[in-house]
Chain A
Amino acid sequence: GIQVEQSPPDLILQEGANSTLRCNFSDSVNNLQWFHQNPWGQLINLFYIPSGTKQNGRLSATTVATERYSLLYISSSQTTDSGVYFCAVVVSGTYKYIFGTGTRLKVLA
């Protein structure tokens, strides 16, 4: 089956710093989404981005489907950005989202 690897697995930042999270996948995908699971366990939809670039405030994402990776950029990080970031993909011809291993982010005040 498809492998969805995220890096780094853990990341600690000072408030105000920028970061880049990466998602690599081993097969062709139709869909790709980024999520933030906050410390209370809630899953927040960030981006639906099967290809191209999107921006939403301090967050932006880029997916290069032909090279099988996606990047999530967080600028001017805040303590509320802490939590686990997941990317999830749908393999071409299927319908299930396969989630990555996650990046655990902690932003220090």
Chain B
Amino acid sequence: EAGVTQFPSHSVIEKGQTVTLRCDPISGHDNLYWYRRVMGKEIKFLLHFVKESKQDESGMPNNRFLAERTGGTYSTLKVQPAELEDSGVYFCASSPGYMNTEAFFGQGTRLTVV
């Protein structure tokens, strides 16, 4: 069974440009999460989808970030326009339930804004 897959594995963009990160969860997992680790700090929650609906986006840093989950399958996280402080590693996770169940994390997308 395929795990959580993230694309691209690494992206380098200039400040002011747009970048879209993609996450393919494990098939059948209704719950999808985005996290990120920036500036060598802790890994922080960004948002949570249940199927195509946003359940909690309290961790989204500002309105330059837009997450979508088309048809409850894959998800995209768009950063527009990117700023230097957005550099870091963005992780996606999925789980079949959202309490008392293991979350499976992808290997992450490293974003470098120059």
> Residues of A at under 8 Å CB distance from B?
30-31, 33, 35, 37, 40-45, 48, 50, 86, 88, 90, 93-102
Q: Which residues of B contact A35 (CB under 8 A)?
A: 105
Are B43 and A88 touching (Cβ within 8 A)?
yes
Q: Which residues of A contact B45 (CB under 8 A)?
A: 96-98
Are B43 and A42 touching (Cβ within 8 A)?
no
What does DSSP make chain B's interface, helix, strand, loop or mixed? strand
Q: Which residues of B, 8-67, contact A by the 8 Å Cβ criterion?
A: 9, 31, 33, 35, 37, 42-45, 48, 56
Q: CA–CA, A30 to B37, complex, Å? A: 23
Are A97 and B93 touching (Cβ within 8 A)?
yes
Are B107 and A100 touching (Cβ within 8 A)?
no
Q: CA–CA, A45 to B3, complex, Å? A: 11
> Residues of B at under 8 Å CB distance from A?
9, 31, 33, 35, 37, 42-45, 48, 56, 89, 91, 93, 98-108, 110
Q: Which residues of B contact A102 (CB under 8 A)?
A: 42
Q: Which residues of A contact B56 (CB under 8 A)?
A: 95-96
Are B101 and A31 touching (Cβ within 8 A)?
yes
Given A97-B93, A99-B44 in contact, is the A44-B103 Cβ separation under 8 Å?
A: no
Nearest B residue to A101 via CB reads B42
Are B35 and A97 touching (Cβ within 8 A)?
yes
Q: CA–CA, A35 to B42, complex, Å? A: 13
Out of A31, A41, A50, A101, name the residue touching B108 (CB < 8 Å).
A41
Q: Which residues of B contact A97 (CB under 8 A)?
A: 33, 35, 45, 93, 103
Q: CA–CA, A86 to B42, complex, Å? A: 9
Are B108 and A42 touching (Cβ within 8 A)?
yes
Are A43 and B108 touching (Cβ within 8 A)?
yes
Out of A86, A93, A94, A95, name the residue touching B43 (CB < 8 Å).
A86
